[in-house]
Every structure is written in structure tokens, then in C-alpha cells.
């Protein structure tokens, strides 16, 4: 049984270390969000469920990525993008759920999901279908295409529909929460292009010799912060609003 | 984050990706792109100095125009007489001006802190630009006879030390202002990110492209929006077209004058390199413009902050 398999973590391998800690942290966060769901007001239960799903899906993928990495020493690119293709749109769903009370429509949800999937599919093509040895042209082309999707989500969170709806909600907790999530998109999600540029043919790879062996470290740390942090912001909004409703 | 900062960030990402694939571009392409944007946005941002300065003052406009032109002429004369001093003065003046416009929205920063912050922030980005492209600049200067006197200021070690000092002081000033509640933590984070992005853009992008990206978006466009906001406050119903009409006369005049000077150089009547002419012209209009903007930010701009 796989639970009884002994898995050796090399002492000098921070990437393996972060795969393990990432997997456990995501799993713990999922358990936390699922259990805490019963303590928040009805209208926030779905948001916490989504937070739990984000970290739960990531936990399962990290479990497999951990094994893949330890067995091959390679970047588990496909598994990573499968994880992101599921979890990043779910993070966009959180934006929709938080601003639903202020009038967010299904159209907004679809736009955010399409933009995030665009970002990820283009990034995957850029990373996984790079010719042998790495082609800068291929990497740059798909990097630019992917960035367009990122810029849309960033714009929506800071100035566009999401930001405007948060302002319209007249709810300070929701406004602050959406702003914090916008910061995650600005700073937290910016780590992924850095990793992308370290792939063979990527700019950081060709200009500075930064190689893709460092990429997984960036991604693992970024994933843990972005996914768990994102969920904790939603948790904060849910619990604060629940307390406010109870006090009223 | 302001929309302009967002546009800067977005363009920075796209340009970074593009230039990483394109690699080096021809310097003539760089010059054409930079010059076009400077003409479209950079020059116009100073074209309403007369309106901003004279607003509410009982000063004869002719006196203002005389003083403005006088400063330009004195500046040009200084370049002929003391070129190295003029270059250093130009860079120092630009540093203060860039810093002042960057933090113009923050009216709670104490005056001394604001002065230190403005100087250090502006100096840091300008020194960064020179330091990151040191070889390229040294190459151009060493191969242009009338730029040779400036070789004495091109000392890599000194530039690095100054860059470090000004950058650290700028960051410390921002943190100090935040600790004194003149900036919110969010504003501090944004300013630090923008500060970092400008340095990264200057480091990674070709010299003129990186500088143009900053100068056109974060400086000129920002200042023009502030000017428009103020003028619309003074003259209700002022449209964007109305504002463009206000900018037009002196924009056209500046471009015309600049073109005449370049033509004189091209015909060999003016014995100077294009690089020196560019520096002198830019310096000449920057001096009176920065004085007007300093008065603007300390005076009437307070009404609409």
C-alpha cells in the first residue's frame, strides 16, 4: 500500500522538501476550511467550500507531483498545469462569489474563468511543447499570449467589474477582502511567469542561465502562499461577516 | 494602484517578453520609438506651464514668457561655458522633478522627508539607468568628441555607491513616511513595487525603451492627468479636446524649435553632435518647467488633492 512505502527525502533537496510540506499544508488547509464551513453563515458556506476544494485539489496533485519528482527528478509540468487548470479558475470563482451580493452576474464568472484558462493553456503550450533544447521564440510567443489572460484578471480585480462591485457592496470587509485578493493576483501570481521564464528557451534561462531545476521551488512556495492565503482571506471575510450578522 | 501604474506594469510584462525574444534592436529603431513617444506625450506635458503658473497671479504674461525664455537661454549658455556642471545640474534637477511628480498625491509627508524622498527617488532611478547601461553610454560618449568632457563623471564604482545610497535612502524615507502615517501600508507596497519595476525595466530593456516607458507613462502622462484635473476644476466643462487645444500651441512651438536646431546640426551650421543637442535642449526646457511644476505642486494643486 502506498501509505506504507518508505519515501526518502534527500537532505540537500529543498524542492523535495517543499513538495512534502506543500502537500501536507494544502491537505491541512482543506480540512480546516471544510470543518470551519459549519461555523459560518449560510451565504458564505459556498465560498469556504470552494476554498477547501482549491487546497484539496492541490493537495492531491502535490501528492502525485511529489512522487513523480522523487522518481524522475524532472519537473512534473503536466500535473502542475492540470492542478492550475482546476484551481486557478476556482480562485476566480471566489471573486464572483464575494461580489455576488453586490450584483455580480454569471457573465463576470465566465469572463474570469475564460481569462484564467486562456492564461494556463497558453502557458502550458509554451512550457510543455517547447522544441528540444528550448526555443526562445516559442517561449516568448506563448508567454505573451498567456500574459494577456493574466492582465485581464489583474485588471478586473483592481479596476474592472470585480473592483467596482466590491466598491458598490458598501461592505468594508468585502472591499478589503477583494483588495487583498487583488494583491495576491498582482504579487503572488507574478511568481509563475518568473518560473516560466526559467524553462529552457525562456528569457531568464538564456540571459542568466537560470535553469528549470529552480522552478519547482518557486512554484511550490508560490502555490502554498497563493492557495492557502487566498482561502484564509475568504475565511476572514466569512467569519467577520458571520460575526457581524450575529451581532446585528 | 492607479490605472497608469497598471498600464506600466502590463506594458512592462509584454515588452519584457518581446525583448527577450527579439534581443537587441537597432539603435535607430529605439530612437524613432522613443522620439515619437516623447513628442506625443513628453513635450505636451510641459506645454501648459504658462497657464498653470499665471493662474490667479497678477503677473504680466510677457514677463513670464521672458523669464521662461531667459532661463532656457541661460541654461544653454551654461552648457557652453560649464558643460560638466550643466550635466550634473540637469540630472539633479531632473531627479528632484521626477521624485516630486511621483509623490505629488501624498500631501501628508512632512516637508523635509518629502524633499529627501523626492531627491533620492529621482536620483536612484536616473543613476540606475546610467549604471545598468554603463558600457553602452561609455561607448557613445567616448566616440563622440563633444561628449568627451563627460567621461569624467562616468565612474562605475562611484555610480554604484551613489545608486546604493540614494536607493536605500529613498526606501527608508518611504518606510519612515509610512511609520508616520503619511502613507498607508498599501501605498508603501505599491510604491516599492513601482520603484522596483522601474529599476528592473531600466536593467532589462534597451536604454531608450526602458526610459521612455517610465518617462511617458509614469511621469508625463501622470503629470498631464494632474494638469487636466486642475484645469477642469478651474474651468468646468473642460473636455479632453479642449485640453489638447490648450497643449497644442507650445507643443508645436517646441517641436518646431527643436526641429530647426536639428536641421542646423544636420546642415553643419551648428557644430554639435545630435546627442549633445538632445541633452542641451532637454535640459533647457526642463529647468523652467520644473520650477513651474514645483510652484504648481506646492500651490494650486493642493486645492484638488
Query: A58-115 pLDDT, tens per residue?
Result: 999 999 998 888 888 888 888 988 999 999 999 999 989 988 888 889 999 999 999 9
Provide the residue-wise pLDDT of chain B in tens; the chain has 305 residues. 888 889 888 888 888 777 776 666 777 888 888 888 888 889 999 999 999 998 878 888 899 999 999 999 999 999 999 999 999 999 999 999 999 999 998 888 888 999 999 999 999 999 999 999 999 999 999 998 889 989 988 999 999 999 999 999 999 999 999 999 999 999 999 999 999 999 999 998 889 889 999 999 999 999 999 999 999 988 878 888 999 999 999 999 999 998 999 899 999 888 888 889 989 999 999 999 999 999 999 887 877 76
Given a cut of 60, is residue A228 above it in pLDDT? yes
Out of A140, A143, A155, name the one closest to residue B6 (CB): A155
Instruction: Cell numbers for A105, please give them.
Output: 452576474
Q: What is the ipTM of this complex?
A: 0.80
pLDDT at residue A77, as a whole number: 84
pLDDT at residue A1, as a whole number: 45
Closest residue in A to B13 (Cα) is A147
Supply the pTM of this predicted model: 0.87
Query: A162-215 pLDDT, tens per residue?
Result: 999 998 888 888 899 899 999 999 988 887 877 777 776 666 776 677 666 677
Write the DSSP symbol of residue B153.
G
3-class DSSP string for chain A: CHHHCCCCCCCCCHHHHHHHHHHHHHHHHHHHHHHHHHHCCHHHHHHHHHHHHHHHHHHHHHHHHHHHHHHHCCCCHHHHHHHHHHHHHHHHHHHHHHHHHHCCCHHHHHHHHHHHHHHHHHHHHHHHCCCCCCCHHHHHHHHHHHHHHHHHHHHHHHCCHHHHHHHHCCCHHHHHHHHHHHHHHHHHCCHHHHHHCCCCCCHHHHHHCCCCCCHHHHHHHHHHHHHHHHHHHHHHHHHHHHHHHHHC
Instruction: Cell numbers for A214, please give them.
Output: 529552480
pLDDT at residue A171, as a whole number: 87
pLDDT at residue B128, as a whole number: 96
Residues A32, B266: Cα–Cα separation, whole Å:
73
Is A147's CB within 8 Å of B193's CB?
no
pLDDT at residue B107, as a whole number: 82
Given a cut of 80, is residue A132 above it in pLDDT? no
* B-chain residues near A203 (CB < 8 A): 16-17, 20-21
pLDDT at residue A15, as a whole number: 86
Residues A34, A52: Cα–Cα separation, whole Å:
6
pLDDT at residue A133, as a whole number: 63
With an 8 Å Cβ cutoff, the interface of chain A facing chain B consists of: 136-137, 139-141, 143-144, 147, 150-151, 154-155, 158-159, 179, 183, 186-187, 193, 197, 202-203, 206-207
Given a cut of 80, is residue A247 above it in pLDDT? yes
Q: Please, are residues A151 and A142 in contact by the beta-carbon 8 Å criterion? A: no
Is A206's CB within 8 Å of B20's CB?
yes
Residues B182, B176: Cα–Cα separation, whole Å:
9
Closest residue in B to A150 (Cα) is B10
Instruction: Cell numbers for B112, please give them.
Output: 523635509
Best probe of the B interface among A122, A138, A154, by most B CBs < 10 A, is A154
Q: Please, are residues A76 and A19 in contact by the beta-carbon 8 Å criterion? A: no
Write the DSSP symbol of residue B48.
T
- Between B87 and A11, the more confident residue is B87
Closest residue in B to A156 (Cα) is B6
Span A119-129, mean pLDDT? Answer: 86
Q: Please, are residues B19 and B206 in contact by the beta-carbon 8 Å criterion? A: yes
Instruction: Look up cell 467577520; give the residue.
Output: A240
Q: Which of B220, B205, B231 is nearest to B285 (CA)?
A: B220
**CA neighbours within 13 Å on the CB side: how many for B13?**
25
Is A140's CB within 8 Å of B18's CB?
yes
With an 8 Å Cβ cutoff, the interface of chain B facing chain A consists of: 1, 3, 6, 9-10, 13-14, 16-18, 20-21, 186, 189, 193
Report CA-CA distances (Å) from A237 to A46, A80, A154, A155, B85: 13, 29, 21, 22, 58
Instruction: Cell numbers for A188, please give them.
Output: 503572488
* B-chain residues near A135 (CB < 8 A): none
pLDDT at residue B101, as a whole number: 94
Instruction: Cell numbers for B136, please give them.
Output: 553602452
Is A141's CB within 8 Å of B21's CB?
yes
Write the DSSP symbol of residue B214.
I
Amino acid at each position: 500500500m502506498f501509505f506504507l512505502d518508505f519515501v526518502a527525502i534527500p537532505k540537500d533537496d529543498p524542492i523535495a522538501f517543499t513538495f512534502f510540506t506543500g502537500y501536507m499544508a494544502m491537505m491541512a488547509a482543506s480540512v480546516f476550511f471544510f470543518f470551519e464551513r459549519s461555523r459560518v453563515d449560510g451565504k458564505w458556506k459556498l465560498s469556504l467550500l470552494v476554498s477547501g476544494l482549491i487546497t484539496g485539489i492541490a493537495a492531491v496533485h502535490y501528492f502525485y507531483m511529489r512522487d513523480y519528482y522523487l522518481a524522475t527528478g524532472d519537473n512534473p509540468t503536466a500535473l502542475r498545469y492540470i492542478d492550475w487548470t482546476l484551481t486557478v479558475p476556482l480562485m476566480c470563482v471566489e471573486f464572483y462569489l464575494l461580489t455576488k451580493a453586490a450584483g455580480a452576474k454569471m457573465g463576470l464568472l465566465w469572463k474570469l474563468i475564460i481569462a484564467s484558462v486562456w492564461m494556463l493553456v497558453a502557458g502550458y503550450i509554451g512550457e510543455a511543447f517547447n522544441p528540444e533544447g528550448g526555443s526562445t521564440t516559442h517561449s516568448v510567443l506563448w508567454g505573451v499570449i498567456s500574459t494577456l489572460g493574466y492582465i485581464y484578471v489583474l485588471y478586473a480585480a483592481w479596476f474592472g467589474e470585480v473592483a467596482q462591485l466590491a466598491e458598490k457592496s458598501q461592505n468594508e470587509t468585502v472591499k478589503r477582502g477583494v483588495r487583498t485578493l487583488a494583491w495576491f493576483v498582482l504579487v503572488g501570481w507574478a511568481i509563475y511567469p518568473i518560473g516560466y521564464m526559467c524553462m529552457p528557451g525562456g528569457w531568464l534561462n538564456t540571459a542568466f542561465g537560470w535553469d528549470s531545476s529552480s522552478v519547482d521551488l518557486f512554484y511550490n512556495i508560490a502555490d502554498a502562499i497563493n492557495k492557502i492565503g487566498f482561502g484564509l482571506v475568504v475565511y476572514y471575510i466569512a467569519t467577520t461577516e458571520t460575526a457581524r450578522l450575529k451581532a446585528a | 494602484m492607479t490605472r497608469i501604474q497598471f498600464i506600466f506594469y502590463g506594458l512592462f510584462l509584454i515588452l519584457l517578453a518581446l525583448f527577450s525574444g527579439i534581443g537587441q534592436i537597432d539603435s535607430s529603431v529605439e530612437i524613432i520609438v522613443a522620439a515619437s513617444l516623447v513628442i506625443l506625450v513628453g513635450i505636451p506635458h510641459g506645454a501648459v506651464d504658462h497657464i498653470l503658473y499665471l493662474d490667479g497671479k497678477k503677473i504680466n504674461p510677457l514677463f513670464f514668457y521672458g523669464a521662461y525664455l531667459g532661463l532656457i537661454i541661460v541654461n544653454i549658455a551654461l552648457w557652453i561655458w560649464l558643460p560638466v556642471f550643466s550635466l550634473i545640474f540637469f540630472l539633479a534637477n531632473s531627479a528632484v522633478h521626477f521624485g516630486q511628480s511621483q509623490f505629488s498625491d501624498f500631501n501628508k509627508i512632512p516637508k523635509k522627508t518629502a524633499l529627501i524622498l523626492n531627491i533620492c527617488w529621482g536620483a536612484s532611478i536616473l543613476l540606475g539607468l546610467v549604471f545598468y547601461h554603463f558600457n553602452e553610454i561609455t561607448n557613445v560618449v567616448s566616440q563622440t568628441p563633444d561628449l568627451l568632457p563627460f567621461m569624467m563623471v562616468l565612474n562605475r564604482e562611484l555610480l554604484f555607491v551613489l545608486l546604493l545610497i540614494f536607493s536605500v535612502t529613498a526606501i527608508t524615507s518611504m518606510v519612515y513616511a509610512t511609520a508616520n502615517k503619511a502613507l498607508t501600508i498599501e501605498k508603501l507596497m505599491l510604491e516599492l513595487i513601482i520603484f522596483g519595476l522601474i529599476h528592473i525595466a531600466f536593467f532589462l530593456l534597451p536604454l531608450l525603451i526602458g526610459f521612455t516607458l517610465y518617462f511617458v507613462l509614469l511621469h508625463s502622462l501622470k503629470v498631464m492627468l494632474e494638469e487636466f484635473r486642475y484645469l477642469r476644476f478651474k474651468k468646468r466643462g473642460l473636455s479632453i479636446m479642449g485640453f489638447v487645444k490648450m497643449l497644442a500651441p507650445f507643443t508645436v512651438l517646441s517641436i518646431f524649435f527643436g526641429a530647426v536646431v536639428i536641421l542646423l546640426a544636420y546642415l553643419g551650421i551648428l557644430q554639435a553632435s545630435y546627442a549633445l543637442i538632445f541633452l542641451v535642449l532637454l535640459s533647457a526646457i526642463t529647468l523652467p518647467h520644473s520650477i513651474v511644476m514645483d510652484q504648481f505642486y506646492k500651490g494650486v494643486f493642493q486645492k484638488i488633492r
